Amino acid sequence: MIHCPTCGHPHSRVEETRNRDGFYQRRRVCSNCGAGFVTREYSASQISKFLSEAQEKALDVATRIFGGR
């Protein structure tokens, strides 16, 4: 559940959704205070891609620091 960053209320409505490269960007409005905020929603495959890239970078840094076997 996404909470409003202004008041912490758990309910909001989606005003606009845009399909970006690899994620959905949604413009939301809080049902309690009326504050607007933007969220990004990634697919599971996109998250896996981010994680594998981060793991590769961490391995590369560790290899440079500690040397390879």
**Per-residue CA distances from 21 to 6, 8, 31, 60, 63 (Å):** 28, 29, 29, 27, 32
Residue 34 is predicted with a pLDDT of 97
Cα 15 to the chain's mean position, in Å?
A: 18
Overall pTM surpassing 0.75 (yes/no): no
pLDDT, tens digit, 9 for 90 and up, residues 10-24: 999 999 999 988 899
Total residue length of the chain? 69
Model confidence at 50: pLDDT above 80: no
